[in-house]
Structure 1
Amino acid sequence: MNLEKILAISGKPGLYVLRVQTRTGFVAESLLDGKKITVNLKSNVSLLSEISIYTYEGEKPLAEIMQKIADKENKGQAISHKEENAVLLAYFKEILPDYDEERVYPSDVKKILNWYNMLQAKGLVTDETPAAAVAEEVEVIAETPVAEVEAPVKKAKAKKE
């Protein structure tokens, strides 16, 4: 799951996609309603790819946890983040059995499940990493015979002349 350009902005609901960097900050687009906002550099912004969850053995990246949720739910919606704390923690224990129960709070679990469901609703929950997608595309291009690639180019040149 690729979380490279997905942001959580403190004080703003939902998740955002980083669109353009500006001189004074950046422009982000809301996953909830598609509206674009400008965010200055003073705002508290977290990249989802940089967030980790405490376990007894160390820290696990959020992307791994979201992938585990996707695998458990067959890429469908997870349980609602509005469930009772006991239900949420029991569900999270199934996903990540060794999470540190003293440092991971029910509010953290609610955020993770809410974020997962938002990403899933937008179709951003996938197995494929960007590197794998690019490698696959390069393979297809490499396997394409030269004649198939040159034919459209020759036709375009002929139309110009």
Structure 2
Amino acid sequence: MNLRGIVAVSGRPGLFKLVGQNKAGYVLESLDAQKVKIVANITTTKLASLEDITVYGEDEDLKLTDVLANMVAAKGEVPDAKADPKVLKAFFSEVAPNHDQEKVYASDMKKIVSWYHLLKDLPLFNEEAPAAPAEGEAVKEDKAEKKPKATPKPANAKAPSKTAQPAKKANMTSKKGV
């Protein structure tokens, strides 16, 4: 399951795909049928990548990707997000058996189920996540290509004149009142 670039935005329903970034913020495209593009302000908007989201667990936290994978493998139908909270709790205890029942609320379960229904038909939901390089592997190409870079001059910068003398320091002591 490849959820790289899929984010949840605080204060907005649904999920978004990170398309790019500009001076004003992140350019996001909604994953619903309308495909609305928005620019989320960098300083005020909180984004949460679905790869990084975890669910409270009794022993250790559960990754959202694992919970979604269990939903795919669930024998029964995945309930609707508007289903009765008791039905959602029973389903969630099946797909995430070690979740902390005191910390994971029905609203959290509804949100995860609604995300599942948004993602299940997308092609990225069925493709493998790109593998990150292992810790022991060092990328030798990057180290070989690192050369000191010359800093480019701005186009409007003037070259110093040969006759220009450095400015003399002004005497900052005052002789008043002596």
Normalising by structure 2, what TM-score? 0.68
For 1:61, which of 56, 60, 63 is the aligned residue? 63
In structure 1, list runs of 5 or more residues that go unmatched: 132-161
- Structure 1 segments of 4+ aligned residues over 4 angstroms from their partners: none
Shift of residue 85, structure 1, vs aligned partner: 0.4
Alignment of 1:5 with 2:5, yes or no, is yes
Name the structure with the higher helix share.
Answer: 1
CA distance in 2, matches of 1:37, 1:111: 21
**Counterpart in the other structure of 1:43:** 45
**Counterpart in the other structure of 1:143:** none
What is the SS of the residue equivalent to 2:28?
A: strand
**Counterpart in the other structure of 1:98:** 98
Name the structure with the higher strand share.
Answer: 1
CA distance in 2, matches of 1:2, 1:122: 10
Deviations along 1:6-58, one digit per CA (max 9) or x if unpaired, are 11111212110000011231100001121111111111221111110011111
1:1-161 equivalence runs, <5 A: 1-32=1-32, 33-41=34-42, 42-72=44-74, 78-126=78-126, 128-131=128-131
Larger Rg: 2
> Is contact 1:67-1:127 (8 Å) kept?
no
Shift of residue 4, structure 1, vs aligned partner: 1.7
CA distance in 1, matches of 2:107, 2:6: 20
In structure 2, list runs of 5 or more residues that go unmatched: 132-178
Q: 1:121 to 1:127 in 2, by over 3 A?
A: closer
> Is contact 1:6-1:47 (8 Å) kept?
yes
Deviations along 1:94-134, one digit per CA (max 9) or x if unpaired, are 00111100100000000000001100133432152234xxx
CA distance in 1, matches of 2:15, 2:52: 14
What is the SS of the residue equivalent to 2:27?
A: strand
Shift of residue 73, structure 1, vs aligned partner: 5.5
Instruction: State how many pairs are aligned.
Output: 130
